[in-house]
Homo-oligomer: A and B are copies of this chain.
């Protein structure tokens, strides 16, 4: 059993737990397609398999974790609802999953969140509680919701129910295309890359697992190399899904099972995003472009290799594109 640097015990999900999570969520999520592009392969000098979580329910892999968390609650706990503090894809995913189970979803969002994000949460039936745009007030507000309602807190990534389910994207990818030399995913809070790394580890595959991160928000890169979580305040990157930092649970898995962390620049992210839109005719959000940029701009030794990339999401504001 692993421990954090502060001595907290960490019970990483095992393969059986991951398999159970996958079976639990299958009725509620898409088995997303794996797409390929000869044009992108030629540009990158590799054979790339894109696992299209941008085509997932709610437009992001987050539907996997949220569905697992919500559907693994016992009846009594579930009846009191769920709560999270997030303004991104996890908020919409939790509202979506809660609606499927017919239970309340309380979403704590900063009062200055974009109207389009609030509308997405409300569109899935989520109930928004506004707070000040500070982490302290987000947590305090969530606490008040819990005291009042008894709702279960579902953290976006520091939760093994979430991590176990995020592993299912990599499992499906490998089931569909076979062995890969590299599997790449973006890293923000680390839920997706942790799940991916655990899946590769348990399935005993030779694939190298690479976390990809904006240079402008390289807290995971620093944490990985310094051996402890390096905090980062308000990083400035176009990849809005990757501005969060690692947690105890995700850092433990990343430091043990991820092979490398690769930073890319803002210009590379936007260019890679454009490559996918233009060549593959699918919409990806900037966070998804981060691992694409790592291959397109030669940050990993992928030449001639078989590379899997998890395209994490496709939620963008069409009125505010970076190109």
Residues of B within 8 A of A38 (CB): 57
Residues of B within 8 A of A59 (CB): 281
Contact between B281 and A277 (Cβ–Cβ < 8 Å)? no
Given contacts A55-B282, A281-B315, 8 further A-B contacts (CB under 8 A): A33-B35, A54-B281, A55-B281, A274-B318, A277-B318, A281-B283, A281-B284, A281-B314
Residues of B within 8 A of A284 (CB): 281
Residues of B within 8 A of A274 (CB): 318
A60 to chain B, nearest CB (A): 9
Q: Can you show 6 pairs from A to B with CB atoms below 8 A apart?
A: A33-B33, A35-B55, A281-B314, A282-B282, A283-B283, A319-B323
Which residue of chain B has the shortest Cβ distance to A53 in the bound complex? B281
The answer, yes or no, to whether A280 is at the interface (CB within 8 Å) is yes
Residues of B within 8 A of A35 (CB): 33, 55
What is the 8 Å Cβ interface bit string for chain A, positions 268-306, against chain B (1 contact, 0 not)? Answer: 000000100110111110000000000000000000000
What is the 8 Å Cβ interface bit string for chain A, positions 34-66, against chain B (1 contact, 0 not)? Answer: 010010000000000000001101010000000
Which residue of chain B has the shortest Cβ distance to A288 in the bound complex? B281
Which residue of chain B has the shortest Cβ distance to A276 in the bound complex? B283
Residues of B within 8 A of A54 (CB): 281
Contact between B283 and A277 (Cβ–Cβ < 8 Å)? yes
Contact between B323 and A278 (Cβ–Cβ < 8 Å)? no
Contact between B55 and A280 (Cβ–Cβ < 8 Å)? yes
A38 to chain B, nearest CB (A): 8
Q: How far does the alpha carbon of A315 sit from the alpha carbon of B277 in the complex, in Å?
A: 10
A240 to chain B, nearest CB (A): 16
7 pairs of A and B residues whose beta carbons are closest in the complex: A281-B314, A281-B283, A54-B281, A33-B33, A282-B282, A59-B281, A55-B281
Which residue of chain B has the shortest Cβ distance to A57 in the bound complex? B38
Q: How far does the alpha carbon of A33 sit from the alpha carbon of B31 in the complex, in Å?
A: 12
- B57, B281, B282, B318: the one within 8 Å of A278 (CB): B318
Q: How far does the alpha carbon of A282 sit from the alpha carbon of B277 in the complex, in Å?
A: 9
Q: How far does the alpha carbon of A280 sit from the alpha carbon of B8 in the complex, in Å?
A: 42
A135 to chain B, nearest CB (A): 30
Q: How far does the alpha carbon of A59 sit from the alpha carbon of B283 in the complex, in Å?
A: 14
Residues of B within 8 A of A321 (CB): 318
Residues of B within 8 A of A57 (CB): 38
- B281, B315, B318, B323: the one within 8 Å of A282 (CB): B281
